[in-house]
Structure 1
Amino acid sequence: MSPRILIALAVAGIVAFGAGVMFWVVVQPDAPTETPAAAPGSGAARQEHRKRFFGGDPDRDVRGGQEMKPRW
């Protein structure tokens, strides 16, 4: 085979692969219609969950902490 044919086949393969990937990204076969983040729930329940998750432990003293030293 001549080098010209090999280069043309390689370029055609890369273009075909890229087109397949773009088709896959755009079409999204069997994609769920609703994302898990958009699941139904009351705003109060979500707010309570956020408060418990980010609230921390009010009884734990974290003001003194530990001195941060670089590890060289």
Structure 2
Amino acid sequence: MSNRPYLGLALAFLFSFFAGGIVVWAWATTTKMPATGSSSPTTPSASDAEHPNRLEKFFHGDQGRNVRNGQEMKPRW
């Protein structure tokens, strides 16, 4: 069997790898990033300020509901 198909696949892989790298590099260099040493601190938005409260409410669950000693789990066999 000839190595020609494998060589074509390897070249296609390398080409796609480098083309993808160029696309990511071009996107990363054109995306505007905030300056790290800026003198004006960013203020959190309303959704960021509400985020810890939403997390706490979600993970603490319903305090009025008793979830202890629930129904016994029985095997299916």
TM-score (norm 1): 0.51
- Determine the structure 1 residue equivalent to 2:73: 68
For 1:67 and 1:9, the matched residues in 2 are separated by 61
For 1:68 and 1:11, the matched residues in 2 are separated by 54
- Determine the structure 2 residue equivalent to 1:17: 16
Q: Cα RMSD over matched residues?
A: 3.5
- Determine the structure 2 residue equivalent to 1:49: 54
- Determine the structure 2 residue equivalent to 1:37: none
Q: Cα gap change, 1:45/1:8 in structure 2, threshold over 3 Å: closer, same or farther? A: closer
TM-score (norm 2): 0.49
- Determine the structure 2 residue equivalent to 1:27: 25
For 1:26 and 1:5, the matched residues in 2 are separated by 30
For 2:72 and 2:26, the matched residues in 1 are separated by 50
Q: Which runs of 4+ in 1 moved over 4 A?
A: 30-34
SS at match of 1:57: coil
Q: Cα offset for 1:68? A: 2.5
Listed as ranges, the gaps of 5+ residues in structure 1 are 35-39
CA displacement 1:11-64 (0-9 Å, x = unmatched): 21121122223x067427276858xxxxx3367633322222222111111111
Aligned residues: 64
Percent identity over paired residues: 30
